[in-house]
Structure formats: C-alpha cells, structure tokens
Amino acid sequence: MLPVFGQAPTEPETTHEGADACTDDCCSENTADAVAVAPRTREANPQAHRGRVPRDGFARTVVRVEGMDCASCAATVEKRVGQLPGMHRAVVNFAAGRLDAEHELDLDLQEIEKAVRDAGYGVGSTQEVEMTPFWRTPRAVSVLVSALLFALGLGLGVTGAPEVLRVGAYLAAIAVGGVPIFRAALAGLRARHLDMNVLMSAATVGAVGIGQWAEAASVVVLFAAGNALQVYAIDRTRGAVRALAGLAPDEVLVRRSGAENVVAAGEVAVGETVIVRPGERLALDGEVLEGRTTVDESPVTGESTPVEKGPGDSVYSGSLNGPGGVMVRALREAGDSTLQRITRLVEDAQASKAPAEQFVDRFSRLYTPLVVAAAVVLAVVPPLLGGQFDTWFYRGLALLIIACPCALVISTPVTVVSGIGAASRRGILIKGGSALEAAGRLEALAFDKTGTLTEGRPILARVVALAERCDESEALGLAAALERRSEHPLAHAILSAGAEQAVDGLPPVANFRSVPGRGAEGDVSGRSYLIGSPRLFEERGISLVTAREALAEVEREGETPVILGGEGGPLAVFGLADAVRPDARTTLEELRAAGVKELVMLTGDAEAPARRIARELGVGYRAQLLPEQKVEAVRELVSEHGDVGMVGDGVNDAPALAVSSVGFAMGAAGTDVALETADVALMQDDLPKLAEAVVLSRAAERIIRQNVVVSIAIKGLFVLLAPFGLVALWLAVLADMGTSITVTLNGLRLFRKGSV
C-alpha cells in the first residue's frame, strides 16, 4: 500500500470514475481569497493517516484529487470543500494532486469526497495500483467518441445528408464530450468562479442558439481533447514524484526476542533490528549492525553508483540492497524516514508559488474580467446600433473563449513542478518555485571552504630534505614510521603518503612516546628521532636555523609545517595542507559557463591557506571571517550583484545561507537541519550536483519566460483579431488549448530530460 506522504497507510479506497470531469479553473481568483479557506503550511505529521486524526480539536483528512490540469484548479475544490459545515481548512496541493482538510470530527469522509466530485473532479485511491493506460480511461474514451461523432457530422455535411442527421451527430458529440464540462461549469458558478468551463459552456450554448452546430461541437471536442492531454502530461509528473514514497516496502523482517517476524514497516520502533536480505529495498533509515553489502542509494542521493556499507554506516529508506545480507538498527520510524521527508518536501515545494506565477496571478485577475466585459459589449452594443446580431454575437463568443488566460496561468507552475521533480530524481532538493527562480538568476556564488571546496582533511603537499644523509624518500619513511601510532589528522596524512612509497614496509619503532599537542618521538634502527611542530624542537633546545628557509616557504604557501629531526638538528620539513576536492575546479568552470559571474570563497581560516586554495581554484576569497562577518560579506555581494547564492554545510553556515538569495546545503541526506532550512539541499556530498542544480534552474527560468511570452503574445493577438471577425470559434479554442498544451509540454521537458 502506498502511504499518503507523511502519513501511515490505511485501508485502500475505491477509485471513482469522476476524474474525467475537469474544471480548468484558470480564471479563478487566487486561492488566498477563497471564502472559508485558509491556506497554510502543512505540518509534517508522520502519525497522521487518511481519515480522522484529532489535532487541536479537529480531524485531518487527506484525499487524492484527480483531473486537475491547471494550478488554479485547486481554488474550485478548496472553495467547494471549504463551504462544508464543520470544515476548518481545505488546502489543495495542485502539484501533488492532494487535498488536506481540517474539520470537525463529525464531518464524514464521504461528504468531503462528494464535495470534490461536485466540484467536477475525481477522487483517487491512496493505494498504489497499476495505472490504466491513458487511451482506456473514461476521459480518453469520451473524447474519442465525441471526436468520431463530430467527424461523422462533418462527413454528413460533405455528402449532403439531411440536416437532421447532421445536427443529431453534432448534438451527440456535444453531449458525450460536453457533459463533464457543463457539470464543472455548474460547479464553478455555484462557487462563483468564472472559470474556463463556464466560458466554454457559454460559447457552446451561444453557438447552438444561433444555429452554429458545427462550431459548438468543435468547441467541445477541442476543449475536451486539450484538457485530456494536459491532465495526462501533468499526472505523469505527479505519479513520478509519488512513486518515491512507493519505493519503501510495506513489510519488513524484524528480529524480536530471538525470533524473526514479518511485520508492517509502520510498526517498527526506533532501535529495533531489521534484517535486510539481498535484493530487498530498505523500509526505514538505520545503521548497519552486522554484515557488508553494496547499496543503491539513487532514490535519496541521486548517486547511480552503489555504495559499500558495513557496520556503523548509515542506510536510507528506499535504497536497494545489493548482494549481501545485513542487520540494520532502525533510527527513524517509517513515516519519518529520509525518503518520506524528501517526498513531502518536494510536494510542498512544487505547490509554492514562484515570483513569475504571482505576477501571472495578478495579471489574470485584471485580464479576465476586462476581456469578458469587452466580449459582452461586442455582442450587445453593435446590434443596438444597427449591426447584425448573429455576426456580432458570434464575435463576442470568440472573444469570450479568449478571455481565460489558461495557457498563461499554467505556464509557470507546470515548469516549477517538472523542474523540482527532475532535480529530486538527481538528488537535488529545491525548496519551492522561489528558490528555483532565484537559482536560475544567480550572478554570484559564495562558498564555504572546508568540506565544500576542500575535502576537510590534510594531505602531504611537500617534503623538503635538509640533510645530505637523508633524502626525501628516506625522510618520509622515517616520519611515517613514527606517526604510525599517532591518531592526529596530520599524522595520518604523513602515514598515508609514506606507506604508499615504502616498498619493503615501514621500519619498526622502539621506545615510542607521544608528546600531546606537540608531536611524537621514538627510536628507529638505534637512532632517536623527533617529529612534530617547531615548538617541540624549540622546547627541546634544538636549533632550527637550517630549517628557516623551508619553514618560511611552507608558511608562504599556507601549509602547516611538521619537522622531522634528532639531536643533531632537523632532517626534513613537511608541508601539510587541506586537500582541494578533485572535482572542484571542473564544477567552478561549469558554473562560469552557466553564467555565474562571481565566485568567492568565504572562510575562517588564516590568510595564507585561504590564499593558496583560492589561487589553485581561481576564485576570489575573504579569510579569517567570523560567522557574523560571513553574513556581512554575503550581504555585500547581494548589494553588488543582486542574486547571490551561498554554499555550505547547512549548519555552521546557517546565518550566511539565510541572508543569501538562495542557500545550498551540501550532503544533506539524513541531516534534519539541512533538509528543513536550506533553499536547495544537495542530498549527496557531491560538488558537481551544485552545477547541475544551477544549470537546471537556469533552464527552468528560461522556459518560464518562454511560456509567459508565448502565452501573452498569442492571447493578445487573438484579442485584437476577434472584434474584426477574423477568429472562428474553433480557431479560438484551438489557439487556447494548443497554447496550453504547448507550454505544458515545454515545461515538462525538464522532467523528461532532467535538463535542456
């Protein structure tokens, strides 16, 4: 069973056939203006389920709404459901196709579902069932039958058949294809919404009234076909996002009291031991206790290469286990797994309005009533002044069809839905339309250094031999032998480099002793050696005169010095530095190619190491910054460049991430703070994902502009042509629905390809 996102699954529901009645409420007012409906930010409640969950005296119900093909369609359902007695809040998430309702405990679920159907929409099942092929759905069948009847009417007209047969064919086409439209129009009128169904119904009735049967049938057939194609395209995107949660199995094998039992995933408590067999998917987030395997984590992180897992490693719900069986200790309940949280956040993000969408909403609220008024004037005034009624009434009907900015309204949200969905499949969580647009307009990016541009671990950058009797290779071998027992990160860097060069192995060390905070000492082949900071040698009274030049060079390069020596003086100086990520330079080049003009590194490190990293990567830098100084630096970049992003770990850099135009959190998988606070969360600690996010966002921004410009241009052209009789009803419908389908498919390119 597929759980409602953020909720535990319950009994399956019956799928209803009302999905073929779509109300394309493109002209409705903004959802925020709905009476008795209060949009809100839905809280993540893993214990809530479909039905009645008391919260603050109210029950919460989640219902799948089918048949929505426009972002504004949500307003019709919200208003209709919001009018129910005892309803507190009703919020429809268009992107997810979901109604969240809070209501009195005595309000029946059946009443809510009936209100959804009365609004002209279908009620879907929360259970994951096999999808019916599109061509076999009631919507597709009715459209096909209506089109065939319309074609029959045209054929009868060409052959000169009696008018009664011709009119009968057209009337049948209108009835078959138009019943859902007329039913939705009545629902819109009851909700006081002048939506597309109302306008199309008025145009159809008006055409019939003046004897234009073929025109009336063409309006119904073209509109029904266009709606069906839009719903099909958008439902595919919704289904792909919902499928994320369906990756987690419903049942798991749990070890309890020495016995192994198969139980529902929702019944597993934190701390229990789950047995994951080869080839199974993980149902919960957890930590490997026993066994080794490889795990495909692509649903969570977007990483296509399986990751090796062993005791102590974290695993995520929805991941596919490889050839090894493992025992996993549950760290979260099923409803609160990383996969479930990602799915909820993606759905909520897709529902948020982008700035372009807010502009379109304002535009449509002015455009629609003005054009409807113009259509009424065009149909009424000229006949009063002596014009032919049929001619001017027909032109008014054509203008009435053009009055709904359907293509314009859907142009932005469908792109946001597909863009965020495409990003989530790649392990990039974009938190809403505003973040998507902001990332697409970035002019500058600021980076934290440690763990973002660098690996956050030291490597051996240089070896300078100071004595003739000890070359670089021998010095490195001695140093690695002495550091073999040390736990210090600098010691590990030297040991790693020395072990690679030692063909015959490292020499044994006797009388080893660690000097806390300074270094270590020991005997190798009967000789005593010291290794550590310059302070260790100064405290032992060993002169560093011969090492001054090497130490100065190491300091200039921003490296940390480590000295190897003995009672006779220093033998070698090692320079250790933070390792630059192997893919950092390539990622920065891709960002520049994408149009990000300014790349700046912000770090609390000292001047010298910051300068070295910046020079190696070719970026600007600001060093020795406190957290509040990072915030000020980001503000300065925003004032200078406008749209500025900040890349960090999502926790330490939270203040700087907050003041940027869009904050990118690295490696957010399983990190609560990063998942909840970042504008863009890169689930895997993979820097190239940053470039992918920016490129994808830029593509989305470009497509949004294309869609808006095309929609306004076509609408404007037909508004100008209609009063002169240059627009037939069928052409007006074809232009409107054709533009809607075009912008829909243009936006869905992001989801199909991941980028354009």
Contacts of 739 (CB under 8 A, 6+ apart): 406, 407, 710, 711, 714, 715
DSSP codes, 593-645 = HHT--EEEEE-SS-HHHHHHHHHHHT-EEE-S--HHHHHHHHHHHHHHHSSEE
With 0-12 / 13-18 / 19 or more C-beta atoms within 10 angstroms meaning exposed / middle / buried, residue 651 is middle
Q: Catalytic residue among 20, 118, 448, 685, which?
A: 448
User: Which residues have CB under 8 Å from 560's CB, separation 6+?
Assistant: 458, 490, 554, 575, 576, 577
- Our answer to whether residue 448 is catalytic in this structure is yes
| Tokens at 22, concatenated | 């779509």
**Radius of gyration for the chain, computed over Cα atoms and rounded to the nearest angstrom:** 33
In angstroms, rounded to a whole number, what is the distance separating the alpha carbons of residues 147 and 173?
7
26 neighbors 148 (Cβ within 8 angstroms): no
SS (H, E, C) 344-408: HHHHHHHHCCCHHHHHHHHHHHHHHHHHHHHHHHHHHHHHHCCCCHHHHHHHHHHHHHHCCCHHH
Tell me which residue of 490, 500, 423 sits closest to 461, measured CA to CA.
Answer: 490
Return the SS3 of 567. coil
Q: How many CB atoms lie within 10 A of CB 40?
A: 10
Helix or strand holding residue 447 (H, E)? strand 444-448
Strand 87-93 relative to strand 454-465, pairing: unpaired
Question: What percent of the residues of the chain are helix, what percent strand, and what percent coil, each to the nearest 5?
Answer: 50, 20, 30
Token digits for 143? 């459209």
Question: How is residue 414 written in tokens?
Answer: 């469908």
Cα 11 to Cα 3: distance, rounded to the nearest angstrom? 10
- Give the residue numbers marked as catalytic: 448
